[in-house]
Protein backbone atom coordinates (compact mmCIF):
# COMPACT_ATOMS: atom_id res chain seq x y z
CA UNK A 1 0.00 0.00 0.00
CA UNK A 2 1.42 3.38 -1.02
CA UNK A 3 1.98 5.74 1.89
CA UNK A 4 0.02 8.97 1.92
CA UNK A 5 3.02 10.65 3.53
CA UNK A 6 4.90 10.40 0.21
CA UNK A 7 2.54 13.07 -1.14
CA UNK A 8 2.59 15.34 1.89
CA UNK A 9 4.44 18.63 1.43
CA UNK A 10 7.18 18.64 4.03
CA UNK A 11 6.97 21.38 6.64
CA UNK A 12 9.69 23.97 6.27
CA UNK A 13 10.93 22.68 2.91
CA UNK A 14 10.43 24.09 -0.57
CA UNK A 15 7.98 22.29 -2.84
CA UNK A 16 8.16 21.93 -6.60
CA UNK A 17 5.01 20.65 -8.41
CA UNK A 18 7.28 19.02 -11.01
CA UNK A 19 8.52 16.61 -8.35
CA UNK A 20 5.24 14.68 -8.59
CA UNK A 21 3.89 13.30 -11.86
CA UNK A 22 0.23 14.39 -12.22
CA UNK A 23 -0.42 11.36 -14.43
CA UNK A 24 0.68 8.87 -11.77
CA UNK A 25 -1.90 6.67 -10.04
CA UNK A 26 -0.28 5.47 -6.81
CA UNK A 27 -3.61 4.70 -5.10
CA UNK A 28 -5.40 3.11 -8.05
CA UNK A 29 -6.92 -0.33 -7.52
CA UNK A 30 -5.85 -1.45 -10.99
CA UNK A 31 -8.83 -0.50 -13.13
CA UNK A 32 -11.49 2.18 -13.36
CA UNK A 33 -14.17 -0.27 -12.27
CA UNK A 34 -12.14 -1.27 -9.22
CA UNK A 35 -11.45 2.38 -8.41
CA UNK A 36 -15.14 3.28 -8.57
CA UNK A 37 -16.03 0.38 -6.28
CA UNK A 38 -13.26 1.39 -3.89
CA UNK A 39 -14.46 5.01 -3.80
CA UNK A 40 -17.97 3.82 -2.94
CA UNK A 41 -16.60 1.64 -0.13
CA UNK A 42 -14.50 4.51 1.21
CA UNK A 43 -17.48 6.88 1.03
CA UNK A 44 -19.48 4.42 3.14
CA UNK A 45 -16.72 4.43 5.76
CA UNK A 46 -16.52 8.23 5.67
CA UNK A 47 -20.29 8.34 6.17
CA UNK A 48 -20.11 6.09 9.23
CA UNK A 49 -17.37 8.23 10.80
CA UNK A 50 -19.22 11.43 9.93
CA UNK A 51 -22.16 10.12 11.95
CA UNK A 52 -19.84 9.53 14.92
CA UNK A 53 -18.33 12.99 14.41
CA UNK A 54 -21.80 14.53 14.56
CA UNK A 55 -22.75 12.48 17.62
CA UNK A 56 -19.65 13.56 19.55
CA UNK A 57 -19.87 17.27 18.67
CA UNK A 58 -16.31 17.82 19.90
CA UNK A 59 -14.29 17.90 16.67
CA UNK A 60 -14.79 19.02 13.08
CA UNK A 61 -13.15 18.49 9.69
CA UNK A 62 -12.21 21.16 7.16
CA UNK A 63 -11.28 19.88 3.70
CA UNK A 64 -9.61 22.42 1.42
CA UNK A 65 -9.62 21.62 -2.30
CA UNK A 66 -7.40 23.82 -4.46
CA UNK A 67 -6.30 23.42 -8.04
CA UNK A 68 -6.18 25.08 -11.41
CA UNK A 69 -9.27 25.36 -13.62
CA UNK A 70 -10.61 21.90 -14.64
CA UNK A 71 -8.64 20.09 -11.91
CA UNK A 72 -11.89 18.52 -10.71
CA UNK A 73 -12.86 20.04 -7.40
CA UNK A 74 -16.61 19.73 -8.08
CA UNK A 75 -16.28 16.16 -9.32
CA UNK A 76 -14.27 15.16 -6.28
CA UNK A 77 -16.95 16.49 -3.93
CA UNK A 78 -19.72 14.64 -5.77
CA UNK A 79 -17.82 11.37 -5.79
CA UNK A 80 -16.04 11.22 -2.44
CA UNK A 81 -18.97 12.41 -0.32
CA UNK A 82 -21.76 10.75 -2.30
CA UNK A 83 -22.78 8.53 0.63
CA UNK A 84 -22.47 11.12 3.39
CA UNK A 85 -25.57 12.53 5.11
CA UNK A 86 -26.00 16.00 3.55
CA UNK A 87 -27.07 17.41 6.93
CA UNK A 88 -23.58 16.82 8.28
CA UNK A 89 -21.64 18.38 5.44
CA UNK A 90 -21.33 21.85 3.94
CA UNK A 91 -19.64 22.88 0.68
CA UNK A 92 -18.45 26.47 0.33
CA UNK A 93 -16.98 28.11 -2.76
CA UNK A 94 -15.30 31.50 -2.50
CA UNK A 95 -15.63 33.74 -5.54
CA UNK A 96 -14.28 37.25 -6.09
CA UNK A 97 -14.82 39.27 -2.90
CA UNK A 98 -17.87 41.53 -2.74
CA UNK A 99 -17.53 45.27 -2.03
CA UNK A 100 -18.46 44.62 1.60
CA UNK A 101 -15.87 41.84 1.90
CA UNK A 102 -13.21 44.10 0.40
CA UNK A 103 -13.75 46.53 3.28
CA UNK A 104 -12.37 43.91 5.71
CA UNK A 105 -9.27 41.77 6.03
CA UNK A 106 -9.08 38.86 3.57
CA UNK A 107 -9.96 36.23 6.21
CA UNK A 108 -13.08 38.06 7.42
CA UNK A 109 -15.35 36.21 5.01
CA UNK A 110 -13.65 32.86 5.63
CA UNK A 111 -14.03 32.41 9.37
CA UNK A 112 -17.87 32.21 9.47
CA UNK A 113 -17.76 29.37 6.93
CA UNK A 114 -15.47 27.09 8.92
CA UNK A 115 -17.11 23.92 10.30
CA UNK A 116 -18.92 23.93 13.60
CA UNK A 117 -18.51 21.08 16.06
CA UNK A 118 -19.59 17.77 14.58
CA UNK A 119 -19.54 19.01 10.99
CA UNK A 120 -17.52 18.55 7.81
CA UNK A 121 -16.97 21.59 5.62
CA UNK A 122 -15.39 21.48 2.18
CA UNK A 123 -13.80 24.60 0.74
CA UNK A 124 -14.08 24.33 -3.05
CA UNK A 125 -11.49 27.07 -3.56
CA UNK A 126 -10.61 28.84 -0.37
CA UNK A 127 -8.70 31.54 1.46
CA UNK A 128 -5.70 30.49 -0.64
CA UNK A 129 -7.16 32.36 -3.60
CA UNK A 130 -5.96 35.49 -1.79
CA UNK A 131 -2.32 34.41 -2.15
CA UNK A 132 -2.65 32.81 -5.60
CA UNK A 133 -4.57 34.87 -8.14
CA UNK A 134 -3.72 38.07 -6.28
CA UNK A 135 -0.02 37.27 -6.59
CA UNK A 136 -0.19 36.19 -10.24
CA UNK A 137 -2.15 39.30 -11.20
CA UNK A 138 0.19 41.56 -9.24
CA UNK A 139 -2.60 42.85 -6.99
CA UNK A 140 -0.37 42.28 -3.95
CA UNK A 141 3.40 42.51 -3.70
CA UNK A 142 5.72 39.90 -2.20
CA UNK A 143 5.74 41.57 1.23
CA UNK A 144 1.94 41.48 1.42
CA UNK A 145 1.94 37.90 0.17
CA UNK A 146 4.29 36.86 2.97
CA UNK A 147 2.12 38.65 5.54
CA UNK A 148 -0.98 36.86 4.25
CA UNK A 149 0.75 33.48 4.32
CA UNK A 150 1.70 34.12 7.95
CA UNK A 151 -1.89 35.11 8.74
CA UNK A 152 -3.10 31.88 7.11
CA UNK A 153 -0.76 29.78 9.26
CA UNK A 154 -1.98 31.51 12.41
CA UNK A 155 -5.62 31.29 11.34
CA UNK A 156 -5.36 27.57 10.66
CA UNK A 157 -3.57 27.00 13.96
CA UNK A 158 -6.47 28.75 15.69
CA UNK A 159 -8.91 26.34 14.06
CA UNK A 160 -6.75 23.35 15.02
CA UNK A 161 -6.53 24.55 18.62
CA UNK A 162 -10.33 24.70 18.68
CA UNK A 163 -10.64 21.05 17.56
CA UNK A 164 -10.77 21.27 13.77
CA UNK A 165 -8.76 18.79 11.71
CA UNK A 166 -7.60 20.48 8.50
CA UNK A 167 -6.95 18.50 5.33
CA UNK A 168 -5.61 20.46 2.36
CA UNK A 169 -5.48 18.89 -1.11
CA UNK A 170 -3.74 20.35 -4.16
CA UNK A 171 -5.35 18.75 -7.21
CA UNK A 172 -2.33 18.46 -9.49
CA UNK A 173 -2.98 18.24 -13.25
CA UNK A 174 -0.70 18.84 -16.21
CA UNK A 175 -1.06 21.68 -18.69
CA UNK A 176 -1.79 19.14 -21.44
CA UNK A 177 -4.55 17.56 -19.35
CA UNK A 178 -6.13 20.95 -18.78
CA UNK A 179 -6.04 21.55 -22.55
CA UNK A 180 -7.91 18.29 -23.18
CA UNK A 181 -10.56 19.06 -20.57
CA UNK A 182 -11.15 22.57 -21.86
CA UNK A 183 -11.35 21.26 -25.44
CA UNK A 184 -13.84 18.60 -24.35
CA UNK A 185 -16.11 21.30 -22.96
CA UNK A 186 -16.02 23.12 -26.28
CA UNK A 187 -16.69 19.94 -28.24
CA UNK A 188 -19.86 19.11 -26.30
CA UNK A 189 -22.66 21.70 -26.54
CA UNK A 190 -24.17 20.30 -23.35
CA UNK A 191 -21.01 21.34 -21.51
CA UNK A 192 -20.66 24.83 -22.97
CA UNK A 193 -22.04 26.25 -19.72
CA UNK A 194 -18.88 25.01 -18.01
CA UNK A 195 -16.60 26.87 -20.39
CA UNK A 196 -15.38 30.34 -19.53
CA UNK A 197 -13.43 32.29 -22.13
CA UNK A 198 -11.53 33.85 -19.25
CA UNK A 199 -9.99 30.43 -18.53
CA UNK A 200 -7.96 30.79 -21.74
CA UNK A 201 -6.43 34.02 -20.47
CA UNK A 202 -5.64 32.41 -17.12
CA UNK A 203 -4.04 29.48 -18.94
CA UNK A 204 -1.43 31.86 -20.36
CA UNK A 205 -0.21 32.33 -16.78
CA UNK A 206 0.21 28.58 -16.14
CA UNK A 207 3.84 28.92 -15.06
CA UNK A 208 3.08 31.83 -12.75
CA UNK A 209 0.26 29.91 -11.09
CA UNK A 210 2.45 26.85 -10.59
CA UNK A 211 5.07 29.09 -8.94
CA UNK A 212 2.40 30.70 -6.74
CA UNK A 213 1.11 27.29 -5.67
CA UNK A 214 4.65 26.12 -4.91
CA UNK A 215 5.25 29.17 -2.72
CA UNK A 216 1.90 28.90 -0.92
CA UNK A 217 2.15 25.18 -0.24
CA UNK A 218 5.74 25.46 0.94
CA UNK A 219 4.87 28.28 3.34
CA UNK A 220 1.68 26.81 4.82
CA UNK A 221 2.12 23.04 5.00
CA UNK A 222 2.49 22.43 8.73
CA UNK A 223 2.35 19.37 10.95
CA UNK A 224 -1.09 20.49 12.15
CA UNK A 225 -2.47 21.51 8.73
CA UNK A 226 -0.53 19.67 5.99
CA UNK A 227 -0.86 19.97 2.24
CA UNK A 228 -1.19 16.83 0.13
CA UNK A 229 -0.44 16.78 -3.59
CA UNK A 230 -3.04 14.67 -5.39
CA UNK A 231 -2.05 13.44 -8.87
CA UNK A 232 -5.26 14.32 -10.69
CA UNK A 233 -4.86 13.68 -14.42
CA UNK A 234 -6.98 10.59 -13.73
CA UNK A 235 -10.32 11.64 -12.29
CA UNK A 236 -10.99 8.30 -10.62
CA UNK A 237 -7.52 8.20 -9.07
CA UNK A 238 -8.00 11.75 -7.82
CA UNK A 239 -11.19 10.71 -6.07
CA UNK A 240 -9.66 7.53 -4.62
CA UNK A 241 -6.79 9.47 -3.07
CA UNK A 242 -8.97 12.25 -1.67
CA UNK A 243 -11.29 9.64 -0.16
CA UNK A 244 -8.31 7.86 1.41
CA UNK A 245 -7.09 11.16 2.85
CA UNK A 246 -10.51 12.07 4.25
CA UNK A 247 -10.92 8.66 5.82
CA UNK A 248 -7.46 8.90 7.39
CA UNK A 249 -8.26 12.37 8.75
CA UNK A 250 -11.48 11.14 10.37
CA UNK A 251 -9.75 8.06 11.79
CA UNK A 252 -7.09 10.29 13.34
CA UNK A 253 -9.80 11.75 15.61
CA UNK A 254 -10.28 8.32 17.25
CA UNK A 255 -14.02 8.88 17.45
CA UNK A 256 -16.12 6.69 19.71
CA UNK A 257 -19.87 6.47 20.22
CA UNK A 258 -21.14 8.72 23.05
CA UNK A 259 -21.76 7.00 26.36
CA UNK A 260 -25.08 5.19 26.57
CA UNK A 261 -27.82 6.68 28.73
CA UNK A 262 -28.61 4.11 31.45
CA UNK A 263 -32.09 5.59 31.93
CA UNK A 264 -33.02 4.41 28.45
CA UNK A 265 -32.75 0.78 29.55
CA UNK A 266 -36.02 1.19 31.47
CA UNK A 267 -37.97 2.61 28.57
CA UNK A 268 -40.35 0.30 26.71
CA UNK A 269 -42.06 1.37 23.56
CA UNK A 270 -45.74 0.40 23.54
pLDDT digits (tens, 9 = 90+) for 146-191: 999 999 999 999 999 999 999 999 999 999 999 999 999 999 999 8
pTM: 0.94
Alpha helix stretches (DSSP H) within the chain: 32-56, 73-80, 99-102, 133-136, 142-161, 175-187, 198-203, 206-220, 235-251
Q: Dump the DSSP string for 200-252.
A: HHHHTTHHHHHHHHHHHHHHH--SSS-EEEEE-SSHHHHHHHHHHHHHHHHHT
pLDDT tens digits, 218-227: 999 999 999 9
DSSP code for 31: S
Q: How far is CA 164 from CA 58, 70, 121, 236, 250, in A?
A: 9, 28, 10, 28, 11
Q: Which domains does the chain have, with CATH numbers?
A: 4-253 (3.40.50.300)
Amino acid sequence: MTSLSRYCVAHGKSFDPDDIDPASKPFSQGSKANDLAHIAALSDKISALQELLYANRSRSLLVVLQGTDTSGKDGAVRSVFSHVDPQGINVVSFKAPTPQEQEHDFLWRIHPQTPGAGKITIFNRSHYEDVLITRVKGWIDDDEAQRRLAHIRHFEQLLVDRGTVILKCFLHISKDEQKERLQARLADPAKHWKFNVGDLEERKSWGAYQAAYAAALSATSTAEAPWYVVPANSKTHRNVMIAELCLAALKSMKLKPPKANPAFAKIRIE
